[in-house]
Structure formats: structure tokens, C-alpha cells
Structure 1
Amino acid sequence: MLSIEEKIAERNVMGQRADILIVDDGSTDRTWEIINQLHQAHSRVRGLRFSRNFGHQSALIAGMAEAIKTADMIVTIDADLQDDPDKISEMVDKYADGADIVYGVRNNRDTDSWFKRTTAQGYYKILKLLGVELVPNHADFRLMSKRAVETFLSYPERNMFIRGIIPKLGYKTDAVYYKRTPRMAGESKYPLKKMLAFAWDGITSLTIAPVRLILILGTAATLLAIAMMAYAVIMKMLGLTVHGWSSLMVSLWFIGGVQMISLGVIGEYIGKLMNEVKERPRYTIQAKLN
């Protein structure tokens, strides 16, 4: 049975050589040992090993930066085998027709739980309301031409949300649709906590809408305070003042909560700015198999 790269090479769409580059994001199991074995058995298998875990987005960027040195196009795909590698040939056809970016898009979410399916759809809707251009039901399974990858890699920011940056490149795009399958082995490295952090990173790296929302809340709170002041003056003039602390306490807690949330959101943006200014490397490569 022919492998995916052999099928593509046989059709002579992109030449006679297609390599597989595997990025080991600082795993603590036998992953790098297995990559070494594959490299010894198959010259087309190459590998990168991080010195520690730098995150999914950094692993993708490192793989792109290394692969594009010798490739005319690249395909990124997660190693959990849930995305359909047979669709790569169809992606190559779209590339041959002139598309610089071909998205792999799920045509259903049957393998997801109700909670994950509902929150994912809600997340896409929120980002759309915030003005973020995103491809729904697309993760990181995509084909990109050499010039698209080089343009993407010219973006210098460290806080990178790749799914939101790729649509901003402006090149011709297309899509292939596939059914995502359950994981063949292992457990997801994205529990709810990591998923929420990833979603928040996506929002804060692509839009300043949360800061604008703070301005709107502050304006609304100010207008409410002015209205309450006018109401208190009128009640005082009419002699209808009622002594009590409930409304006062509720107001204090509400204003205090808004202020703390506002400071937290602003602090998040300031923290990201601090990381950008430091210009630290996105990742450190410990070993490389070419």
C-alpha cells in the first residue's frame, strides 16, 4: 500500500519527493525515540525536538520554518490521527488549481461531546461579533504555498493565534471537507482549562474588543451613577428618602466587580505587550533529524 507522500509523488503534482517532518514538543515519553527509528527506516521522515514544551502554536511555527527551507508547499496536521490524511491529495489538487491556502474543514462534529460542540459554535459566533475573521470548524489541518508560509513567518509577534492570522494573509484560499475520527490512542492534551486559555489567547491576540467593552461598561456605569444621583436628589426634595444599606451594598459590589474585571483585562493586554517587547525566542530546538 502506498503512503500518502508516495501517492502524491506518483501523480507528479509537486515533483517526486515529499518529506514528513515531525515536531516533538518536549514530550517525556518515547516519542523522540520512535521518531529516530522512523528516520532510520525512512529517509523521508525528519524530526525536530524542542528542549521543553513550548506549546502547540510554537510547534507548528517551528515545523513551518524548517520545512519551507526546501519545500514548495507544506501541509500541517496533528499527530493524533483524527484529521484525514487521505484528503492531502485533494488539497494538492486545489493547490495545483491556484490556491495558496487550502483549509481542512470538518463537515460534522459527531465525535465531540455536546458541551464541546456547543461551546465551539458559541466561540466562533463570539469571535465573529468581535470582528475576527476565522474559518469555522477548521483547526490546523491545512496546506500552504511557499509564499503564504513566508508571509506568515514574517509576522513577528510571540502571542500567535495561527487560525486567526492565516485568513489575514490575503492569498487565494479553498477548502476540503472531511469527517474527523475519534483518537486512535492516548488522551487529548487539551483539557477544558487549556481550551479556555487557548480561546482567550485567540481573542486577545486578534482584537482589542474586550478593552472597548470595558469603555462601554465604564460609560454605562457613569450614566447609571448620574441617573441615580438625580433620583436621590429628587427623592430628597420630596422627602421620600428611605434609609437602608441593601441598595448601597449592591452598588458597591457591582462597581467593585466591574473595576476588578476591567483591571484584569487591561493587565492581560499589558502582560502580552511585555512579552512582545522582550522578544524572547518562541522555542529552542534541542535536536534535529534531516
Structure 2
Amino acid sequence: MSPDPRPALSVVVPAFDEAEVLPVFAARLRPVLDGLAASGLEGYEVLVVDDGSTDATPVLLARLRRQWPQLRVVRLRTNSGHQAALSAGLARARGRDGVVTMDADLQDPPELLPRLLEAAAAGHDVVYAVREDRSVDSVLKRVTAAGFYRLVRTLGGRAREQAGDFRFTSRVVVDTVLGLPEAHRVLRLVVPELGFASATVGYARQARGAGRTKYPLTRMLRLSLDAITGSSTAPLRLATFFGLGGALLTSLLLLYALVSFTFGQTVPGWTSTLAVVAGVGTLQLLCLGVLGEYVGRLYVQAQNRPTYLVASDSLEERDQTRT
């Protein structure tokens, strides 16, 4: 039987307009992986998913590839988003033992990889890198992140608190995720829901290596909505509870109005009427908004459009050149 040509480990890195930080990122990641290879890791690949960058990222990646044989570049036709880029990387990763996903901004330190693999070797299919120290983040970032994880747990989700997309997943976990029918996966919630044996490795979140964040508040809100509606039906039940509560309140007000009318105590006024109408209207709009989020996801799923389109893969280009 011929040996498996696939590398043991794939490192998937989504990148969008990261020209400023890529040289520093490569300079820190390569020694770590080369050290692991020298210690017995049977081959690795670094799969950078260029998420439709408009700066010099493609040029820098091409330059790095000439110096780093294990570097592989998958370029998407358009900017499809962070989670779509991660899914594209998982779909093309060849690591036979597992895949590590991480960002290129160096807030997730590459030097943590040996500890992730060590925990995986102890028999865990998923190893989460957990941010124990987020002092480099702004107060708003820390507060909103804590609120997000608390909300997900309240709604019944199984998200690992303070664990982003820096994790190790075994080959069986990767194949299971790729087999899921949902299009817009939020992997930091999907992976915990699968229930595989897991472990955590704590670290201090570092400052960005260079450049600026690609996750402004609007994208964070969009990710939060996708995560919540994609992992829990609790908001639908919340809309039902609001409806029942509104019906109960309306019944009590009607009873009060009938009793007041019977005893001749009715006083015309617009304040109470306005308050009731505004309150009920607000509940109705909120419930419609929640329902709309789920209907929208069903609509997008029914369209079955791809979440990303691959423009090129340096591995395929290399194979074609050889033939």
C-alpha cells in the first residue's frame, strides 16, 4: 500500500486585505510549524484563503509561496465573509489528522499550536483556544463578547465561552461539519453543538500585528444574528411568549375597561390609549422581526446559492504545471 500523500496537518487562515501583517504572520508561523515537523509531525500545509482582497495581499502571498513550499493559496472570487472563507478552507484542507483554523492578524499567537496539538494527542477531537486575558481589546469589545456568549448560553446554545475560531479539529470533525446541509455556518457555534470530545487551552489575546480590524460593529452584529438564529429556536419561542403575554395584558385591560364602564368610572384620555397601542405595536414588530430572521434563512437556504466561489487554488495550478 502506497503511503498517504496528504500532510498530517492543515492550518487554515482566512485573509482579507491583510498585506500589512502577512509578512510578520509568516515569519512567526513558519518556525513553529517547521519545529513541529522536525519533532515528528508528518507534513503540514498552510492554506491561506484570500477572501477577495483588494490590496497587495495576493502579491505578497505569491511572493511567500516561492519561499515557503508548504504555503498554499486559495483565492475566492469575491469577498464572501470570514465564516465562508473558513468553510472554503475546511472544504479544501488535506490534513489527514486534523485542521487548525486561525486568523492572520496575530491576535491568536501561532506559538500556541504545539499546545493545541498536544491536547489533541491526548484523545480530543476538538481543542479550543480560549481567551483568558482580553485586556488588549477595547471595553466595548469585551462587553459585547461577554454578552454574546451569555445570550447564546441562555438560549440553549453550547458555545465555548471566549473561544473564537482559533481551534484544532480532527479529520472526523471536519468531515462532519462539511456534511452539514446549512449554508451559512457560524463555526464557533456549530462545532460545539456536534458534541465531540473536547479540551481547552488558555492564552492571552495579543494586540493586532498590523493593519486594522476587518470586523466592525455592523459585521459583529450580523455574525451574532446568524449565530443565534442558526443554532437556536429559542427566539421563536420568545416571540410566542410575547404574543401570549400581550394577549393576557389585553384581556386584563379589557376586563378593567368593562368594570370601569359598569361602575361609570370611565374617563376619556389619550395617554393610556397611546401607551397601550405603542406597547402592543412594539411587541408585534419585535415578533415579526424575529420571525423574519428565520424566514430569511429559510429563503436563502432554499435558493441553494454557494456561499463562496473559488477563483484559483495554487495546489491545482502546481499539479497542472507538473503535468
For 1:42, the equivalent position in structure 2 comes to 68
Alignment partners' CA distance in 2, 1:35 and 1:119: 33
Question: TM-score, normalised on structure 2?
Answer: 0.86
- The reply on whether 1:64 has 2:64 as its aligned counterpart is no
- The reply on whether 1:29 has 2:61 as its aligned counterpart is no
For 2:98, the equivalent position in structure 1 comes to 73
Look up the SS of the partner of 1:3 in the other structure: helix
Alignment partners' CA distance in 2, 1:101 and 1:123: 22
Unaligned 5+ runs, structure 2: 1-27, 316-323
Q: Does the 8 Å contact 2:95/2:171 carry over to 1?
A: no
Alignment partners' CA distance in 1, 2:120 and 2:232: 30
Per-residue Cα deviation, 1:128-163 (whole angstroms, up to 9, x for no partner):
110000111110001111111111111120121111
Alignment partners' CA distance in 2, 1:48 and 1:126: 35
- The reply on whether 1:225 has 2:250 as its aligned counterpart is yes
C-alpha RMSD over aligned residues: 1.3
Letter in 1 for 2:84: S
For 1:179, the equivalent position in structure 2 comes to 204
- What is the aligned counterpart of 2:281 among 256, 270, 273? 256
Alignment partners' CA distance in 1, 2:119 and 2:298: 38
Q: Does the 8 Å contact 2:75/2:313 carry over to 1?
A: yes
Q: Does the 8 Å contact 1:5/1:19 carry over to 2?
A: no
Q: Does the 8 Å contact 1:77/1:142 carry over to 2?
A: yes
Number of residue pairs matched by the alignment: 287
Letter in 1 for 2:154: L
Alignment partners' CA distance in 1, 2:48 and 2:207: 21
Letter in 1 for 2:286: I
Report deviation, 1:36.
0.9
Unaligned 5+ runs, structure 1: none
For 2:272, the equivalent position in structure 1 comes to 247
- What is the aligned counterpart of 2:126 among 101, 118, 129? 101
Look up the SS of the partner of 1:98 in the other structure: coil
Report deviation, 1:70.
4.6
Report deviation, 1:44.
0.6
Alignment partners' CA distance in 1, 2:308 and 2:144: 30
Q: Does the 8 Å contact 1:48/1:289 carry over to 2?
A: yes
Q: Does the 8 Å contact 2:134/2:142 carry over to 1?
A: yes
Alignment partners' CA distance in 2, 1:166 and 1:279: 22
- What is the aligned counterpart of 2:114 among 89, 92, 95? 89
Alignment partners' CA distance in 2, 1:65 and 1:269: 26
For 2:38, the equivalent position in structure 1 comes to 10
Q: Runs of 4+ in structure 1 displaced over 3 angstroms?
A: none
For 1:127, the equivalent position in structure 2 comes to 152
For 1:214, the equivalent position in structure 2 comes to 239
Alignment partners' CA distance in 2, 1:48 and 1:205: 27
Within 5 Å, which residues of 2 pair with 1:131-146? 131-146=156-171
Letter in 1 for 2:100: V
Q: Does the 8 Å contact 1:65/1:153 carry over to 2?
A: yes
